[in-house]
């Protein structure tokens, strides 16, 4: 199909069968045909191409093979069928791909318009779903986020009060640590722990601050993850499958009870360590 | 061809708006080529197959989108499907090997090029074309008799334009040889080159 681009070749070729057609239509006698052919065959009107023979042959074949334009029974049948289809409403049928014989550019234009529209609709749909998802999980994780926010000023402020008072206060404000963030960081922390220097990044620093010290991160994470799990279950209470993870959670939640007491005493110590 | 296709396109457009006289005009413009093409595939049953095709064309006209040249291709596609259905029903091969043999044994009706060109009878032309391999015969007929351009003929046949052009070229060359037309071979390298 990519051949349309070589328009030169086709353009030239298509002229010939075509050129024969009106001639045939117009003077449908043999005299006219012989005339054109004589010119073609002998010294080649299309002599620039030196294909007088083919042209003559094509003309000849067209003349010999083409049927006579009807007006007879066939035409009447066809017109009757046309009338029936028109009156029966069949002509309002949808265009299928195989019925679309518009030049390629137009077809592509029509298709690209259709594509654009469907992409737009799809993105709106996905966007809507995503928005709704953010809405629900956001509300369910609210209290987790609140806790994180409560904790943040406590450790962060005490730690950075002397050096950069402004940032400590504004950090949670312009980018509140959401439960998801914490959760994700905690999960990642488990993976990269002790390897590389990923833990130097700002996100890790925030996590460490939130936990109140590097060695507290593990305990903090256990609590956060358990909390997140609980929240998820709260959110999916009506979900019939919500029950099964509930049991699993009891086990994971267990360490949480011990952890808070632990970490609550630690911030000062951790901060002290940090300051060194 | 241009004015001719413009006329056809206008007739089709009016017919799509419900004008039955315009549909008759389109019929008269398209039918001769369609019939010639069908004769090459189904022989004497061409008229019947053509009326089947026209019933479908008349019914589905509302679905069609395109200009005059497009209508030629669209209607040829429908005619081809009807012809293939017909062949399947008949369990008749589109052409027999013996037919080709017969054609080759026919004495050339005229000894010289010009004479041959002047009086090629429909029957003889038909016999020659049906003596070609099927893909060549169809390519030649769609290009020469129906008047489709390369890409349109390829779409009707469901093949790549290059393949169709080659088939049409080979078919014409063979016909020319059988008719004693010389100069076709000169065209060979360039035409093939273009298809690459």
Contact between chains at B60 and A90 (C-beta distance less than 8 A): yes
Question: Measured between alpha carbons, how far is A71 from A55 in angstroms, rounded to an integer?
Answer: 30
| ipTM associated with this complex | 0.77
Question: Which residues on adjacent β-strands are paired with residue B65?
Answer: A100
Residue of chain B with shortest Cα separation from A20: B1
A67 touches chain B (CB under 8 A): yes
Q: What is the pLDDT of residue A236?
A: 64
What would the pLDDT profile of A39-74 be if each residue is shown by its tens digit? 333 333 333 333 445 677 888 788 888 877 656 788
Write down the pLDDT at residue A270. Answer: 44
Mean pLDDT (chain A) is 61
Confidence (pLDDT) at B8:
95
A28, B32 Cβ separation under 8 angstroms: no
pLDDT at A197: 63
Q: How far apart (Å, rounded) are the C-alpha atoms in residues B28 and B22? A: 10
Q: Return the pLDDT at A80.
A: 93
- Predicted pLDDT at B34: 93
- Options 1.10.1060.10, 1.10.1740.10, 1.10.3720.10, 2.60.120.260; which CATH number does B2-90 get? 1.10.1740.10
CATH fold match for the domains B2-90 and B97-195: no
Domain B97-195: which topology? Arc Repressor Mutant, subunit A (1.10.10)
Contacts of A86 in chain B (CB under 8 A): 18, 20
> In B, which residues are within 8 Å of A98 by CB distance?
77
Q: Which of B84, B82, B79 is nearest to B30 (CA)?
A: B79
pLDDT confidence of residue B124: 84
Residue bearing the bigger pLDDT, B28 or A5: B28
Of A6, A71, A96, the CB nearest to B63: A96
Confidence tier at A148 by pLDDT (50, 70, 90): low
Domain assignments of chain B as residue spans, ordered by start: 2-90, 97-195
| A121-129 average pLDDT score | 87
Instruction: Calculate how close chain B gets to A57, using CA atoms only, in Å.
Output: 7
* CB-based contact, A62 to chain B, within 8 Å: yes
* pLDDT for res A156: 46
Helix (H, G, I), strand (E, B) or coil at B144: helix
Instruction: Give the C-alpha separation, A177 to A150, whole Å.
Output: 11
Name chain B contacts of A13, Cβ cutoff 8 Å.
143, 149-150, 165
A-chain CB neighbours of B70 within 8 Å are: 101-103
Between A10, A14, A61, which is nearest B145 by CB? A61
Does the beta-carbon distance from A38 to B144 stay under 8 Å? no
Q: Which two tokens stand for residue A191?
A: 């993976």
Helix (H, G, I), strand (E, B) or coil at B65: strand
A263 vs A153: CA distance, rounded Å: 15
If contacts are CB pairs under 8 Å, which of residues 22-51 in chain A contact chain B?
22, 24-25, 34, 37-38, 41-42, 49-51
Choose the weakest-confidence range: A29-33, A80-84, B57-61, B157-161.
A29-33
Whose structure tokens read 């071979």? Answer: B185
**Residue A200 burial by Cβ neighbours in a 10 Å radius (0-12, 13-18, 19+):** exposed
- C-beta atoms surrounding A50 within 10 Å: 13
CA torsion angle B49 B53 B55 B61 (round to 10): -170
Q: Check residue A195 and give its pLDDT.
A: 61
Instruction: Quote the CA–CA distance of B192 and A206 in Å, as a whole number.
Output: 70
Among the partner residues B36, B61, B183, nearest to A65 by beta-carbon distance: B36
Taking the CA of residue A20 and the nearest CA in chain B, the distance in Å comes to 8
| Contact (CB, 8 A) for A33 and A24 | yes
Which chain B residues are within 8 Å of A61, Cβ to Cβ? 120, 125, 129, 140, 144-145, 175
Tell me whether residues A90 and B62 touch, CB distance under 8 A.
Answer: yes
Question: Which of A8, A42, A78 faces B27 most closely, judged by CB atoms?
Answer: A78
Contact A91/B at CB under 8 A: yes
pLDDT band at A83, cuts 50/70/90? very high
Q: How confident is the model at residue A176 (pLDDT cuts 50, 70, 90)?
A: low
Residues of chain B with Cβ-Cβ distance to A8 below 8 Å are 194
pLDDT of residue B86: 93
Would you state the pLDDT for residue B190?
42
CB B103 within 8 A of CB B178: yes
Of B65, B118, B172, which is closest to A102 when you measure between CB atoms?
B65
Residues of chain B with pLDDT under 70: 1-3, 92-120, 181-196
A251 pLDDT above the threshold of 90: no
**Residues of A numbered 92-111 whose beta carbons fall under 8 angstroms of chain B's beta carbons: which are they?**
92-96, 98-104
Q: Cβ contact (<8 Å) for B187 and A49?
A: yes
Residues 6+ apart with CB under 8 A from B192: B166, B169
Contact between chains at A93 and B66 (C-beta distance less than 8 A): no
**Model-wide pTM > 0.90:** no
H-state helical runs in A141-216: 142-152, 158-160, 165-174, 179-192, 202-211
Terminal Cα distance for chain A, rounded:
72
pLDDT in tens, A186-244: 777 777 665 656 666 777 777 777 777 777 777 887 888 788 777 777 766 654 444 44
């Amino acid at each position: 199909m990519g051949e349309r681009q070589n328009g030169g070749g086709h353009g030239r070729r298509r002229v010939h069968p075509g050129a024969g057609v009106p001639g045939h239509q117009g003077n449908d006698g043999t005299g006219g045909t012989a005339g054109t052919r004589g010119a073609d065959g002998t010294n080649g009107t299309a002599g620039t191409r030196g294909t007088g023979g083919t042209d003559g042959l094509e003309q000849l074949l067209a003349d010999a093979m083409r049927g006579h334009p009807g007006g007879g029974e066939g035409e009447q049948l066809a017109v009757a069928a046309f009338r029936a289809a028109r009156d029966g409403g069949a002509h309002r049928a949808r265009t299928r791909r195989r019925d679309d014989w518009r030049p390629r550019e137009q077809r592509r234009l029509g298709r690209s318009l259709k594509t654009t529209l469907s992409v737009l609709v799809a993105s709106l749909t996905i966007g809507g779903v995503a928005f709704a998802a953010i809405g629900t999980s956001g509300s369910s994780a609210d209290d987790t986020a609140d806790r994180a926010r409560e904790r943040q000023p406590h450790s962060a402020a005490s730690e950075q009060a002397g050096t950069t008072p402004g940032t400590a206060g504004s950090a949670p404000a312009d980018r509140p640590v959401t439960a998801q963030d914490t959760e994700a960081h905690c999960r990642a922390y488990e993976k990269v722990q002790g390897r590389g220097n990923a833990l130097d990044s700002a996100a890790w620093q925030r996590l460490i601050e939130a936990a109140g010290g590097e060695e507290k991160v593990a305990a903090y994470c256990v609590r956060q993850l358990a909390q997140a799990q609980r929240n998820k279950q709260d959110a999916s209470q009506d979900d019939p499958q919500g029950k099964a993870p509930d049991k699993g959670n009891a086990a994971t939640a267990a360490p949480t009870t011990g952890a808070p007491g632990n970490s609550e005493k630690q911030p000062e110590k951790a901060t002290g360590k940090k300051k060194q | 061809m241009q004015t001719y296709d413009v006329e056809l396109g206008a007739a089709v457009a009016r017919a799509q708006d419900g004008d039955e006289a315009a549909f008759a005009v389109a019929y008269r413009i398209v039918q001769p080529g369609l019939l010639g093409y069908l004769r090459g595939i189904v022989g004497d049953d061409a008229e019947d197959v053509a009326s089947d095709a026209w019933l479908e064309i008349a019914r589905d006209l509302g679905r069609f989108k395109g200009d005059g040249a497009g209508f030629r291709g669209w209607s040829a596609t429908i005619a081809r499907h009807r012809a293939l259905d017909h062949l399947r029903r008949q369990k008749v091969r589109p052409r027999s090997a013996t037919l080709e043999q017969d054609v080759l044994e026919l004495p050339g009706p005229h000894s010289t090029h010009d004479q041959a060109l002047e009086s090629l009878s429909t029957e003889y032309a038909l016999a020659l074309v049906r003596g070609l391999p099927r893909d060549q015969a169809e390519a030649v007929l769609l290009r020469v008799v129906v008047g489709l351009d390369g890409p349109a003929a390829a779409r009707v046949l469901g093949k790549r334009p290059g393949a169709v052009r080659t088939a049409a070229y080979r078919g014409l060359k063979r016909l020319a040889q059988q008719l004693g037309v010389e100069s076709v071979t000169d065209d060979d390298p360039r035409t093939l080159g273009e298809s690459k």
